[in-house]
Amino acid sequence: MMREIDADKVAETISGLLQEGCYRLSDDVIHALKLAHEREESPPARHVLGKLLENAEVAARDKVPLCQDTGMAVVFLELGQDVHIVGGDLYKAVQEGTRRATTQGYLRKSVVDRPFSARINTEDNTPAVVHTTIVPGEKLKITALSKGFGSENMSKIAMLPPAKGRSGVIDFVVACVDEAGANPCPPVIVGVGIGGTVEKCMLLAKEALLRRVGDPHPDAEIAELESEILKRINDLGIGAMGYGGRITALAVHVEVFPTHIASLPVAVNLQCHSVRHREAVL
């Protein structure tokens, strides 16, 4: 038996998820910011953290986006193999949802076509970037992420030689955050992918950003790596907005996938505190 899901329902759901994410900072991030605010010793950095919490209140109350960079939409679809999408094309529905969120939600039109030349604004934030996986079952899980580019621009990937090992991975991630300095609007969430192929590795880093902020990886060895990288990053002294301080990252999330005998791929996808992803299951 195939379960039917209406394409317009998909569009409407995505529109709602993207808007909600842009106005309302999620509880996990608010909690992490409050902890950082308590722990921060640097007066200017502490001041910034307080203002970011105040900003979240204003954004939710007045329905003004948390940040003027309402990002590029990245939509993850986990499509049950027993689902039949009716009434339209699934990918068109994703684009329609992105379009609706942009116009109905007063989001910024931040996407340009012909990026290497004319850079023509598409006027509705389409196209969204879509990642689909087919899973067992008769449900459709949608995760919609509005990815800001202040942090996206500071992301990096390296195909390390295996000899570099664990310490090579740590050094690469820490150096990436150090070089980014004030640019990605610290405090950041650091998404790290280790393994796979070049494109899989960066996708792991992006997926790492979808985890609840501060939840450690269930695998103890990976969780330990996360906390070691976090400590090293917070020793950099960059602080909130780069004004100097103890808290440069709120969390480090690592995702791992097997790789080839010849390589040790590491990807870093940075995310500012405006972590804007929401999910729904249809």
Nearer to another protein by Cβ, of 150 and 193: the residue is: 150
For residues 228, 233, 236 and 239, what is the CA-based torsion angle, rounded to 10 degrees?
A: -130
Q: Which residue has the tokens 């195909």?
A: 159
Look-up of token digits 């038996």: 1
Q: Is position 150 an interface residue for another protein (rule: CB under 8 A)?
A: yes
Asked if 44 touches another protein (CB under 8 A), the answer is: yes
Task: Yes or no: say if 10 and 90 are a contact pair by the CB < 8 Å rule.
Answer: yes
Instruction: By CB under 8 A, tell whether 59 contacts another protein.
Output: yes
Instruction: Please identify, using beta-carbon distances, which residue of 54 and 215 lies nearer to another protein.
Output: 54
Contacting another protein (CB under 8 A), which of 131, 244, 259, 279?
A: 244
Q: Exposure pattern of 269-279 as b/e (b: 16+ CB <10 Å)?
A: bbbbbbbbbbe
The reply on whether position 197 binds another protein by CB under 8 A is: no
Should residue 107 be labelled a site residue for another protein when binding is judged by CB under 8 A?
Answer: yes
Q: Which is nearer to another protein, 183 or 259 (CB)?
A: 183
Q: What CA dihedral angle connects 95, 101, 102 and 105, to 10 degrees?
A: 180
Task: Single out the segment in contact with another protein by CB under 8 A; choices: 83-91, 101-109, 127-135, 262-270.
Answer: 101-109
- CA–CA gap between residue 190 and residue 143 (Å, rounded): 19
By CB under 8 A, is residue 121 in contact with another protein?
Answer: yes
Q: Are 112 and 243 contacting, i.e. CB atoms less than 8 angstroms apart? A: no
Return the residue of 42, 197, 259, 263 that touches another protein, per CB under 8 A: 42
Distance (Å, whole) CA 77 – CA 55: 31
Of positions 5, 18, 144, 238, contacts another protein by CB under 8 A: 238
- How far apart CA 47 and CA 44 sit, in angstroms, is 5
Q: Crossing angle of helices 7-23/90-104, nearest 10°?
A: 40
181 binds another protein (CB under 8 A): yes
Should residue 101 be labelled a site residue for another protein when binding is judged by CB under 8 A? no
Task: Tell me the β-bridge partners of 191.
Answer: 253, 269
Query: Would you count residue 241 as binding another protein (CB under 8 A)?
Result: yes
* Residues in contact with another protein by the rule CB under 8 A: 41-48, 51-52, 54-55, 58-59, 62-70, 106-110, 119, 121, 123, 150, 153, 171, 181-183, 185, 232, 235-239, 241-246, 272-274
